[in-house]
Amino acid sequence: MTDGLLYENQAHSAGFQTVCGIDEAGRGPLAGPVFAAAVILPEGFAVEGIDDSKKLTPKKREALFGEIAKNAIWGIGFATEGEIDQVNILQATFLAMKRAFDALNVRPDFALVDGNQMPSLGVKTQTVIRGDSLSESVAAASILAKVSRDRLMVEIDRIYPEYGFAKHKGYGTAYHRAMLKKYGPCPVHRRTFLRHILGGSDCE
């Protein structure tokens, strides 16, 4: 990542004291919650390999998760599949981001958020398109959110092993779609995401 603290440094230069990066994981899957993380990196934090979580191997994400969790200030939040169905995925993502932000034990006065849509956090917020590739704190948040969600989907797989959640993490793979058609949805499926696969009546 080239100059991964550019946005953080710009915020500090503008007079903001504490900057956090926020990112989500799991907007696209057919099942499970959407997760978000908020991360405040300490001054001088330097861990090689922090980048957009989607570019990293699971092993690398797990290793970086430990380093970030040990050294940074961070919070995790999520919105359930029921909340996704109730308010839509965008608003549920904002809800997860707000919960992650509120879970921080230090209150930031500036937030960098991946993407081009802004949750209401109560502090100055800047969206950054491809922020998980351009901002180190947003990238760190993407890793924490992704690993946290993947761990939960592995746990869910133990409850509903027939769907293969441990492998695909709820995304709409061919196998997942085939198992949906065979078994129907389970309680962690997002009903509003399944209408084009199963039809409205089969999603209830």
Q: Parse the chain into domains and list their residue ranges.
A: 6-158
Q: Determine the pLDDT at residue 181.
A: 93
Q: Determine the pLDDT at residue 51.
A: 84
Q: Determine the pLDDT at residue 120.
A: 96
Mean pLDDT over the full length of the chain: 94
The whole-angstrom separation of Cα 70 and Cα 94 is 26
Q: What is the mean pLDDT of residues 138-154?
A: 97
SS3 31: strand
What are the two backbone dihedrals, phi and then psi, of residue 119, each rounded to the nearest 5 degrees?
Answer: -75, 160
pLDDT tens digits, one per residue of 11-66: 999 999 999 999 999 999 999 999 999 999 998 887 888 988 889 999 999 999 99
Q: Determine the pLDDT at residue 47.
A: 83
Q: What is the mean pLDDT of residues 101-121?
A: 97
Q: How much of the chain, in percent, has pLDDT values that exceed 90?
A: 87
Q: Determine the pLDDT at residue 200.
A: 55
Spatial CB neighbours of 176, under 8 Å, sequence gap ≥ 6: 30, 31, 163, 164, 168, 170
The whole-angstrom separation of Cα 198 and Cα 67 is 42
What are the two backbone dihedrals, phi and then psi, of residue 7, each rounded to the nearest 5 degrees?
Answer: -70, -40
**Higher pLDDT residue, 177 or 199?**
177
Say if CB 79 and CB 95 are below 8 A apart.
Answer: yes
Spatial CB neighbours of 12, under 8 Å, sequence gap ≥ 6: 19
- Sign of CA pseudo-dihedral 145, 89, 154, 100: positive
For the entire predicted model, the pTM comes to 0.93
Please tell me the CATH superfamily of domain 6-158, with its number.
Ribonuclease H-like superfamily/Ribonuclease H (3.30.420.10)
β-bridge pairing 110-114 and 73-79: unpaired
pLDDT tens digits, one per residue of 149-181: 999 999 999 999 999 999 999 999 999 999 999
Can you read off the two tokens belonging to residue 61? Answer: 């994400």
